[in-house]
């Protein structure tokens, strides 16, 4: 399974999963869900699954790998007949990378069958799990979906929406759920709207997806983003919206704009590529550099790099080429191979960078190891100077919604000053986009965003068993006043 | 197997294959060849194979699919021990798409074992095959490699190089061969140098590859391109160059620059990305357009598009996003799906193009169907105007070295004038790069290139059973004088 | 998956599953379990799984197909390190044939991790499931293992054995469970001992298995059969036996002797082959036939046939050959193929049967379709007479412990008299072994056996939603007096 | 691939392959060939392949593994449309176990396409190969089929049958070929008829197969065995027989009766099971033993064992059970596992043999290692005495037609006397069937058989580079007079 894991990912924010739901009687819902998941594949390559409902039963199929690996031919898909479907692609956030954790989770409970797909991470997941176990629940997976299934089943409510209204307020953290009964599709977004979830319209029904690019692929029209704290119920009576929590401070994860989302998706009505390009322009204005050319680390930083190049009036060049042909399982080079100089995914282009002062644009620095390696590559390829521009502020605090860094000590920017980082990664200069610059580029003044990883100001009190960021309350206080969040 | 085939390919020049050879006693040659082929994977995704030699025997393994599919784990690779290796990735040019046509071809003949990997297409292949059959030869594949194997075996020469010198002059067409005996590696490039073949140096030996990007991946140093009509013999005595044909007019296929090669490769010492960017600048100067933004069709046209954008002073935007997650087998949408609006690989970005005057850059127009589809996509996504710029001249004549178009009547530019094509594909304007502009961008005034597909002036008389281009001798005469080639 | 299903199975008793457990610190427990399951493969070919425990955690792997398909190489097995293991092979009894129903089931509950493997069928499974759902439980599978997991988790007991003692009395039906905690292995057999479960000793520990043939394969020594209503706890303190139910009337399913068990296994201390051979001798004595030769339907009836042949003093011949080369997926002949005469598994041998009076021995007649087909085959191959001897009494009543016949109307012997059946299947004569003869052959006068399928006398009241056998209470009364069971 | 190899095979005669050909316009020839190969699967499990012809072209598909593995679904088969087909299953005799050696071989030569399937082994294969290489031929495989293809292509004859008549006399050794042109099927059997090949009739055409059991499976009628030195040509004009060699001494390999063929096949009109049973009767008469029971090593010796039991008046018991569930790849026990007592395929049945005097029947002793292991197993299981009866004479000389024993020193019976072997394998007594007894059991007094492995009297002079059996000419002389063969 490692084969699908971009080695750079280990040094990236990785809170990702993709969810997709479709209510479209008369359409080939399993096939359309397959295509929808294909559009969301960048959000998770570890496992994939689809469940369909035909008014009476739910049948599902899931497995490890890309959606194309789990459904290698039309056989399984075409047997999955129904009027509605839900799909999931997974990048392991919490929960081991195991077949059993593939989603959608399909369960039976007192009110019948239920399928659940989830993107997010509950902060109080461990606590809820302990409470449920204490009450006699058994767990077969380590997913948050199983927690919600138990809560719904134990709610005592006969109506699913009633059960959800009783249950959801117990959850703390980031979540976007799609639930499916034999005849109903329900979309849910947490009260802060940390994870995205959009609603669209197809020829014969409605569609829910983590990102709008999935609508484009299947020819659906975007209707609206789900409101934080709201659920949408889709069935033969059409659409119905219900609120399960009072309006909370909106706080979508800003890393969706920086890194997670596909450039052709729209978040909060803004096209991601265009936002990233504005980040690039702003970044260049904040950190003007004298250089010969600009290059971005593919693929995530190409939009930003074009903004940087335009602002600096420098040529945008292809400083790296990324190899895209990854089969089902790719044999990683052994250490001996790496010592021989084998470098798999990224190839710096000597003729382009040799003798040049290069502006290298990337989206973030987490541990710093990737930046170090890329600067090194450029030097080896002959770059005279390497100026690093990063389209996000320094990441100084852990993310409790999914980043797989458990301690802030792993974060280079929590340990070092910017000049120290510059030396550490071997750059001639280093510039981070400011929080203000970032927000200006996003250009949604009315919206709030979770930027806890930049400023340690958490929306929700972190769980007690998780390490608290290592700065004093005073510091936090000062930092967080502007955002008005938990200290 | 269709899954690996970019649907756009059907409307593209497709003369491609990748060859790789390594002489490096003491190194894990099979593994390094695996990585070399991975770097060349863009040249062919139909089948892959590796053969290794250990001084006494040759053992090989090949199959359908990506190199990662044929060698899914280290098992097979690690059993292939030796001092030298040869590898191949195949895009079917001539010869059916069948397992038996995977290469390298490994044969035994009077002088022992021999492995052959080939990139190219022989014009007189059918004739040679008929002659060999008449003399009692049997054929198990439809590859040109099998023809050369028969010729070598029948040459009566005891020495392989002597046999090659006797044999190669019989071949007409485009070819780059890598041959391997149990202890020797031989690289061969046709007298016109139509297909590329480069020589590099590793820590412990030498390497041959279709493109220099394969050197980069395994940490090898470029030494030189093989000279047309020359062979290089690599063995324990080091390197030895021998000429098998008198110097002919150099005529590398110019489509290597336009489309085939990876942007990080160097051809004739020129970086492909930079050449393409110059094509873009030149194209913009030849066809200045008033517009709001420039976008390229990914991935091949992004370099050109950045040149166009810089020259026009317009922003370069991501007008399309290409989905890269293709598993082993991807289920193509049915016609019903397509009717529903499912579009798989390319997604036009509405927020970027809507209401805008868009310059859409692509590399070539062959049948015209792709251009039509892409222009349509942009219109649907709301583009106000679509101006198409093509980084090659109109393709008006068949290519006998591999383009899978058997008749010039399939070529839109052979049937229609430029205004007619413009209407046909629904563009507001259409500009092709001139031959002069193309050559200027390549910037190798001393070199000649095969541009027969643009001007019908063939280096080698086309085979009689192939349709002759449908213009009069006079026309040809006029067109070809400047290039001094066969009329 | 159909490929693994013997087409004859559809006309056979099919209550089967195989369970295996091993406590052997220091031994390669996953590998030994793999071999143990391989020995039990005849009990289920639908899915296979293994879970191991290392004192702290439980990790498992399972999938559809033969054990060799689920663990195709040593990779997965060798990663599963531990001191104890539990394995399962499944033939779907209740619960759909779906990956999710593969066992062992691994769950987490308040007292930690638990793995469960089950052979059997609960009569009150549906009821328990409804009760649990009403109390807020969710179900992810349709296995009985999940029911027991819920009951244990909800028992409120801190100690697993205490929880089991509280839980097991709620179960009605046939069951043999192996449970595994991170450091303990527990074997359980229902109060009537309907399903077999044996205990053995290895060099470094203990082993539990559905049949003793699994002990032979891994070189373990048989210790004893588990007593009905008893559980054995195996951990670092050694063996401990505990009773969870008062002694009930012993009633092992007699079909284990007739058909399910492998001939080299011992049940209740009796070798199955020898018992079957005695059945054959007895059958021949009850139904002496004048004929030329005896033949058995492979493989299950060969032991019986040799007893018949010896008793009748007739030669035992190979009247049928069974093809054993079944790959992962075998393409079944289409109806057209069958019409052309394609017959896949069994080939009658013309030279042996042509012109002969043949005694054809089989183990049971359920629907009668198989017998019809086999008699037909023999006739076509030229048999002059076909005398059918069946080593079990007529099956006249449904089995609520697993036979996949929901209604007694599907049972030919419930609808027809023996002369009618003889005509229906086209035999010249037909003899069934009597219940007395069967018991005499088993030769365990002290033991009781469940023979409800022969006499309608059920140990446990059948569930109300299941059809009651269609004969009058008086009949039942008379039939069941001798066995003293529920009427 | 080892998985398919019965470990006992390494100690068995292994000259096997299965060929199948069908001329049946209007029938699903690829599917029927699939079933035909399935019936012949016991003759080879290493690779399988099918080629079909439709009057104009030949298309084929082949691969490693069982026929069910190579054609896992109907996809490939249903694409292979045509009027005639040829199929092959391979057990590697000469030629490495490699995909490239899978058959049928499909070639193109001056007269068009040709497919070849072969069962046999040419004694002068190496010589022919050298001659062909010297004349400029290349070889891509190490099969004899490629040799015959070259010879046919070089014959200069326009007509295939003429080419074959010119070519076949050059071959020395054992062969049964099926050739297929686009519209013709040709069956060929060597002048001594060493390998079997039978002709049958289907509803719409004709069929050729190595064994008659393939006819039974597809519902075809046996017509006749091909005569040695004869070819049959099947096309739209019907059947035509032609002789390509003068009548030679008939000498079918007698091991077909002893071990290779399926018991339900007929060879030379005799049913194999009945012949084997007569061998058993004869064996018992030649070596009367006082014992308690008779048991055969499954599956090959069960027929013989029943004859022995009847003759001795002893019960026939199931002394061993063989596990038949072998998946695609089965993990062999490591030496440590074996030391722990893991024994995979054969399980001796303690309750049957313990305390008993056992007659153990097997078909042959080659190296002796298997017999040693089996006697040991029986002793461990408690057998009081083990008397070994072998249904063939001692194997004292190498077989140049395929046995994979290169030196007679590997043959236990060439090194030791019978009393010595008895001690070596640990038996209480040991009896071999005499040559006379064997021939009497076969009961074809007019036929000759190759028994060179028993007496060193070869039909054809062994190749000079192969070791000559190590006894004096005088010995040979004496032995061979009775059979009148080459000394």
**Binding-site annotation, residues of B for [4Fe-4S] cluster:** 253, 399, 450, 453
Q: Which of A88-97, B15-24, C90-99, D400-409 has the highest mean pLDDT?
A: B15-24
DSSP D259: I
> By CA distance, what is C323's nearest residue in D?
D39
Question: Average pLDDT over chain C, rounded to whole?
Answer: 88
User: Minimal CA–CA distance to C129: which of C94, C98, C87?
Assistant: C94
Q: Distance (Å, rounded) from C-alpha D228 to C-alpha D191? A: 4
Q: How many percent of chain B have pLDDT more than 90?
A: 71
What's residue D224's pLDDT? 97
Round to whole Å and give the CA distance between A433 and A276.
11
Distance from CA of B87 to the nearest CA of D (A): 17
The rounded distance, in Å, linking the Cα atoms of B239 and B233 is 6
How far, in Å, are A141, B276, B277, B383, B387 from residue B358 at the CA level?
A: 50, 20, 19, 7, 6
pLDDT bracket for residue B442 (50, 70, 90): very high
Tell which of A2, A37, A325, A442 to mutate to test the B interface (max B CBs under 10 Å): A325
pLDDT for res D462:
62
Residues in D closer than 8 angstroms to B153, CB to CB, are 133, 136-138
Chains touching chain A through at least 3 C-beta pairs below 8 angstroms are B, C
C136 vs D: CB within 8 A: no
Number of Cβ atoms within 10 Å of the Cβ of A57? 13
B107–D100 C-beta distance less than 8 A: no
The proportion of chain C whose per-residue pLDDT surpasses 70, expressed as a percent, equals: 87
Whether the pLDDT of residue D10 is over 50: the answer is no
* Interface with chain A: mutation pick from C134, C137, C143, C331, highest number of A CBs within 10 Å: C137
Range with the largest mean pLDDT of A174-183, C441-450, D61-70: A174-183
Asked if residue A417 belongs to a known ligand binding site, the reply is no
pLDDT of residue C470: 43
Residues of C in contact with D351 (CB under 8 A): 266, 270-271, 274
A108–chain C Cβ distance below 8 A for any pair = yes
DSSP secondary structure of B248-305 = ----EETHIIIIIS-TT-EETTEEHHHHHHHHHHHHHHHS----SEEEE-TTTTHHHH
Domains annotated for chain D, with CATH where assigned, are 2-250 (3.60.20.10), 276-322+329-443 (3.40.50.2020)
Is residue D487 very low, low, confident or very high in pLDDT (cuts 50, 70, 90)?
very low
Which of C108, C133, C136 minimises the CB distance to A139? C108
What span, in angstroms and rounded, lies between the C-alpha atoms of C173 and C402? 10
Question: Chain B contact for D137, CB < 8 A?
Answer: yes
**By C-alpha distance, which of B449, B447, B259 is closest to B370?**
B259
Distance CA D280, CA D208 (A): 31
Tell me the nearest-neighbour CA distance from D243 into chain B, angstroms: 24
Q: What is the predicted pLDDT for the residue at A403?
A: 59
Q: Ranked by mean pLDDT, which of A122-126, C9-13, C185-189, C479-483 comes out on top?
A: C185-189
Cα of B238 vs its chain's centroid, Å: 29
- ipTM field: 0.88
Q: What is d(CA A115, CA A54) in angstroms, rounded to the nearest whole number?
A: 13
Q: Give me the residue from C107, C133, C136 closest to A140, CB to CB.
A: C107
Confidence of residue B465 (pLDDT cuts 50, 70, 90): low
> Using the beta-carbon criterion (under 8 Å), do C326 and D68 form an inter-chain contact?
yes
Minimal Cβ distance to D110: which of B105, B133, B153 = B133
Residue C253 marked ligand-binding: yes
What percent of chain A lies above the pLDDT cut of 70? 87
pLDDT digits (tens, 9 = 90+) for C193-233: 999 999 999 998 999 999 999 999 999 999 999 999 999 99
**Pairwise CB contact (< 8 Å): D45 & C325:** yes
Alpha carbon dihedral A74, A80, A83, A89, in 10-degree steps, equals -80
If you average pLDDT over every residue of chain A, what do you get? 88
| Mean pLDDT, residues C234-258 | 94
- Does the bond joining C299 to the residue before it have cis omega, within 30 degrees of 0? yes
Residue B210 in 3-state DSSP?
Answer: coil
Mean pLDDT of the D97-114 span: 91
Residue among D90, D199, D264 nearest C323 (CA): D264
Residue C11 marked in a binding site: no
Dist CA D1 CA D15 (whole Å): 18
DSSP collapsed to 3 states, chain A: CHHHCCHHHHHCCCCCEEEEEEECCCCCHHHHHHHHHHHCHHHCCCEEEEEEECCCCEEEEEEECCHHHHCCCHHHHHHCCCCEEEEEEECCCCCCCCHHHCCCEEEEECCEEEEEEEEEEECCHHHHHHHHHHCCCCECCCCHHHHHHHHHHHCCCCCHHHHHHHHHHHCCEEEEEEEEECCEEEEEECCCCCCCCEEEECCCCEEEECCCHHHHHHCCEEEEECCCCEEEEEECCEEEEEECCCCCCCCEECHHHHHHCCCCCEECCEEHHHHHHHHHHHHHHHCCCCCCEEEECCCCCHHHHHHHHHHHCCCECCCEEECCCCCCCCCCCCHHHHHHCCCCCEEECHHHHCCCEEEEEECCCCCCHHHHHHHHHHHHCCCCEEEEEECCCCCCCCCCCCCCCCCHHHCHHHHCCHHHHHHHHCCCEEEECCHHHHHHHHCCCCCCEECHHHHCCECCCCCCCCCCCCCCHHHHHHHHHCCCCEC
Q: Is D17 a catalytic residue?
A: yes
Q: In which region does residue C268 sit, left (phi positive, over 0), alpha (psi from -120 to 50) or beta (all else)?
A: left
Query: Residue A417: pLDDT above 60?
Result: yes
Residue A367: how many CA atoms within 13 Å on its side-chain side?
16
The answer to whether the Cβ–Cβ distance between D133 and B108 falls below 8 Å is: yes
- CA-wise closest residue to B273 among A303, A344, A349: A349
Asked whether the beta carbons of residue A67 and residue B321 sit closer than 8 angstroms, the reply is no
Question: Given this model, what pLDDT does residue C326 score?
Answer: 60
Span A146-183, pLDDT tens digits = 999 999 999 999 999 999 999 999 999 999 999 999 99
Min distance D4 CA to chain C CA atoms (Å) = 10
Average pLDDT over residues B27-31: 95
- Residue D349: predicted pLDDT: 92
Bridge partners of A47? A64, A90
Measured distance CA(D106)–CA(C422) in Å, rounded: 53
In whole angstroms, give the CA distance from residue D480 to residue D486: 8
pLDDT tens, position by position, A230-285: 999 999 999 999 999 987 889 999 999 999 999 999 999 999 999 999 999 999 99
- For residue A363, say whether it is annotated as part of any ligand binding site: yes
Predicted local distance difference test score (pLDDT) of residue C464: 54
Residue B66 in tokens = 């990506």
In chain B, residues with a C-beta closer than 8 Å to the C-beta of A32 are 337, 340, 342
User: Taking 60 as the threshold, does the pLDDT of residue A470 lie above it?
Assistant: no
Chain C residue at shortest CA distance from D269: C351
Rounded Cα distance between A109 and C132, Å, is 9
Chain A residues lying within 8 Å of B277, measured CB to CB: 315, 317
Positions of C marked active-site: 17
Half-sphere exposure of C73 (CA within 13 A, CB side): 4
Q: Which chains touch B (3 or more CB pairs under 8 A)?
A: A, D
Residue C429 has pLDDT above 90, yes or no: yes
Q: Do C321 and D262 make contact, defined as CB atoms within 8 angstroms?
A: yes
* Chain D residues close to B150, C-beta within 8 Å: 136, 138
C109 touches chain A (CB under 8 A): yes
Helix residue ranges per DSSP H, B298-416: 302-312, 335-340, 350-353, 369-380, 412-415
| Lowest mean pLDDT across A450-459, B433-442, D314-323 | A450-459
Q: Is the pLDDT of residue B472 over 80?
A: no
Residue among B271, B324, B340 whose CB faces A352 most closely: B271
Q: Which pLDDT does position A92 carry in this prediction?
A: 62
Q: At residue C8, does pLDDT exceed 50?
A: no
Condensed to tens digits (0 to 9), the pLDDT of residues A355-377 reads: 999 999 999 999 898 899 999 99
């Amino acid at each position: 399974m490692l084969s699908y894991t971009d080695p750079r990912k280990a040094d990236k924010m990785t809170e990702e999963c993709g969810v997709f739901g479709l209510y479209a009687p008369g359409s080939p819902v399993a096939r359309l869900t397959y295509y929808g998941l294909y559009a969301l594949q960048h959000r998770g390559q570890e496992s994939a699954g689809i469940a369909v409902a035909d008014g009476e039963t739910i049948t599902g199929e899931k497995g490890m790998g890309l959606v194309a690996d789990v459904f290698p031919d039309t056989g399984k898909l075409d047997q999955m007949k129904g009027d509605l479907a839900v799909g999931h692609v997974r990048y392991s956030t919490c929960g081991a990378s195991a077949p059993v954790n593939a989603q959608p989770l399909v369960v039976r409970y007192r009110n019948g069958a239920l399928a659940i797909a989830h993107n997010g991470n509950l902060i109080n997941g461990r606590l809820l799990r302990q409470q449920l176990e204490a009450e006699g629940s058994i767990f077969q997976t380590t997913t948050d979906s199983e927690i919600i299934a138990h809560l719904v089943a134990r709610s005592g409510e006969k109506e699913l929406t009633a059960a959800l209204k009783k249950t959801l307020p117990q959850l703390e953290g980031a979540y976007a759920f799609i639930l499916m009964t034999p005849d109903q599709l329900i979309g849910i977004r947490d009260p802060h709207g940390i994870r995205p979830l959009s609603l669209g319209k197809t020829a014969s029904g409605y569609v829910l997806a983590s990102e709008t690019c999935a609508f484009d692929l299947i020819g659906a029209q975007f209707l609206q983003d789900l409101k934080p704290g709201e659920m949408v119920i889709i069935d033969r009576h059409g659409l119905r919206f219900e609120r399960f929590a009072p309006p909370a401070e909106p706080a979508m994860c800003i890393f969706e704009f920086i890194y997670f989302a596909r450039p052709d998706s729209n978040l909060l009505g803004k096209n991601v590529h265009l936002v990233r390009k504005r980040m690039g322009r702003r970044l260049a204005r904040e950190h003007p550099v004298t250089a010969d050319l600009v290059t971005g680390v593919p693929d995530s930083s190409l939009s930003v790099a074009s903004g940087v190049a335009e602002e600096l009036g420098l040529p945008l060049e292809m400083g790296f080429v990324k190899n895209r042909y990854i089969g089902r399982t790719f044999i990683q080079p052994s250490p001996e191979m790496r010592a021989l100089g084998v470098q798999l995914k990224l190839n710096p282009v000597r003729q382009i960078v040799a003798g040049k002062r290069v502006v290298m644009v990337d989206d973030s620095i987490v541990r710093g190891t990737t930046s170090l390696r890329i600067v090194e590559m450029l030097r080896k390829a002959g770059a005279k100077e390497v100026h690093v521009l990063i389209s996000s502020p320094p990441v100084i605090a852990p993310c409790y919604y999914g980043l797989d860094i458990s301690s802030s000590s792993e974060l280079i920017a929590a340990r070092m000053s910017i000049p120290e980082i510059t030396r550490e990664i071997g750059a001639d200069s280093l510039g981070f986009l400011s929080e203000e610059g970032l927000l200006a580029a996003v250009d949604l003044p009315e919206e709030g965003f979770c930027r806890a990883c930049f400023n340690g100001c958490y929306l929700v009190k972190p769980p007690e068993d998780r390490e608290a960021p290592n700065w004093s309350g005073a510091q936090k206080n000062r930092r967080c006043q502007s955002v008005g969040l938990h200290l």
